């Protein structure tokens, strides 16, 4: 898949999202599907309460339409779409509980982890059986493929679940998750093209275009939030694309912002439970910078730039 095709695919998804999102916003407002803001969060966010959520439906729809009409829909495409949509449905259920009960918490952590793991295990098992690379994984540092053997499925499943939750945690500021994922998805499209893949560049191009279109309404001040519907679908899509190309270990570098956001939460919880002290003023990390006086737009811009740099480095490595 050439660069021109990547651009055309992204443009189609962008146009679909630009058209669909305003219509979705009207529907969400009519059904009072507004976001509940956590009370212990930055007080500047309280004005966002009631902003339409579940806008990720527009992203999922745009990617689906683009991928299913882009050409040859093979087994790999169906698998990656199933993972993408599967996590989108899971996120939608989480959002629906939040909206219907007017609270910030949706499904329980146990419910989400179990369902996420089932989808991830299915994806990992498929790749281990079908891929020409089998159970091997590309190791960036040595630029070699290493066979993980029986550990491949649990390893790949862990990568998927970790990525889904990391993207979900990153979705906390206007335009943050959509902008970061736009860059990471474009990186994966270019990487897939260089490797000679046909399925993943189409999917990732569509995801990049959809994120760009959604960003037009999600940038500060956001008119709509993607909700878990969008963040879980995007996390699942990013992880699925990496797994189908067997470059799972490149994602922690290219998606370094996701990793740092997730680590900040893990470290914060671990520190408080063991020492009764907090490392950050608030986790995830983007809130820490906010409480240190950074404007929301500055935090988002810095995280976008960091992602661009990390993806550029990743592209040179592979």
Instruction: Give every CB contact of residue 218 below 8 A, 6+ residues apart in sequence.
Output: 55, 174, 175, 178, 224, 225, 226
Q: Do 71 and 4 contact (CB within 8 A), yes or no? A: no
pLDDT at 102: 65
Q: Among positive and negative, which fits the CA dihedral 71, 74, 76, 82? A: positive
Q: What is the pTM of this model?
A: 0.93
Task: Give the range among 28-37, 77-86, 144-153, 303-312 with minimum mean pLDDT.
Answer: 28-37
3-state secondary structure of 22: helix
Alpha-carbon distance of 167 to 149, in angstroms, equals 28
- Mean of per-residue pLDDT scores for the chain: 91
Instruction: Give every CB contact of residue 241 below 8 A, 6+ residues apart in sequence.
Output: 80, 185, 188, 192, 200, 203, 204
**pLDDT tens-digit series, residues 160-175:** 999 999 999 999 899 9
CA neighbours closer than 13 Å in the CB half-sphere of residue 120 = 27
Q: Which two structure tokens, joined as six digits, stand for 39?
A: 């009370």
pLDDT at 22 over 70: yes
pLDDT at 37: 57
* Cα R_g (the chain), whole angstroms: 19
pLDDT at 39 over 60: no
Sorted by where each begins, the domain ranges of the chain are 3-248
pLDDT at 311: 97
Q: Which two structure tokens, joined as six digits, stand for 25?
A: 């916003």
> Which has more confidence, 288 or 71?
288
> Which has more confidence, 196 or 258?
258
| pLDDT interval class at 305 (50, 70, 90) | very high
**pLDDT tens-digit series, residues 51-73:** 899 999 999 999 999 999 987 78
Average pLDDT over residues 146-156: 93
Alpha-carbon distance of 211 to 56, in angstroms, equals 9
């Amino acid at each position: 898949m050439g660069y021109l095709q990547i651009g055309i695919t992204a443009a189609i998804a962008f146009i679909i999202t630009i058209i669909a999102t305003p219509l979705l916003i009207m529907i969400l407002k009519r059904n009072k599907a507004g976001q509940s803001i956590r009370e212990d969060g930055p007080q500047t966010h309280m004005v966002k309460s009631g902003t339409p959520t579940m806008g990720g439906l527009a992203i999922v729809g745009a990617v689906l339409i683009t991928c299913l009409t882009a050409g040859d829909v093979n087994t790999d495409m169906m698998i990656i779409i199933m993972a993408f949509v599967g996590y989108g449905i899971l996120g939608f259920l989480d959002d629906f509980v939040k909206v219907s009960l007017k609270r910030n918490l949706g499904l329980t952590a146990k419910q989400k982890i179990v369902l996420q793991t089932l989808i991830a295990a299915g994806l990992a098992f498929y790749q281990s059986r079908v891929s020409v690379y089998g159970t091997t994984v590309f190791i960036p540092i040595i630029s070699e493929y290493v066979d993980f053997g029986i550990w491949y499925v649990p390893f790949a499943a862990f990568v998927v679940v970790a990525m889904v939750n990391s993207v979900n945690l990153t979705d906390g500021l206007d335009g943050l998750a959509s902008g970061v994922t736009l860059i990471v998805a474009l990186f994966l499209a270019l990487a897939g093209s260089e490797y000679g893949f046909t399925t993943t560049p189409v999917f990732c191009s569509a995801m990049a275009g959809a994120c760009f279109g959604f960003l037009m309404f999600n940038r500060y001040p956001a008119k709509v939030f993607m909700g878990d519907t969008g963040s879980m679908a995007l996390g699942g899509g990013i992880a699925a694309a990496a797994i189908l190309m067997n470059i799972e270990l490149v994602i922690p570098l290219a998606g370094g912002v996701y990793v740092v956001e997730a680590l900040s939460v893990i470290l914060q919880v671990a520190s408080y439970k063991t020492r009764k002290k907090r490392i950050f003023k608030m986790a995830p990390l983007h809130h820490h910078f906010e409480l240190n006086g950074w404007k929301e737009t500055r935090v988002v811009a810095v995280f976008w730039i960091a992602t661009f740099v990390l993806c550029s480095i990743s592209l040179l490595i592979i």
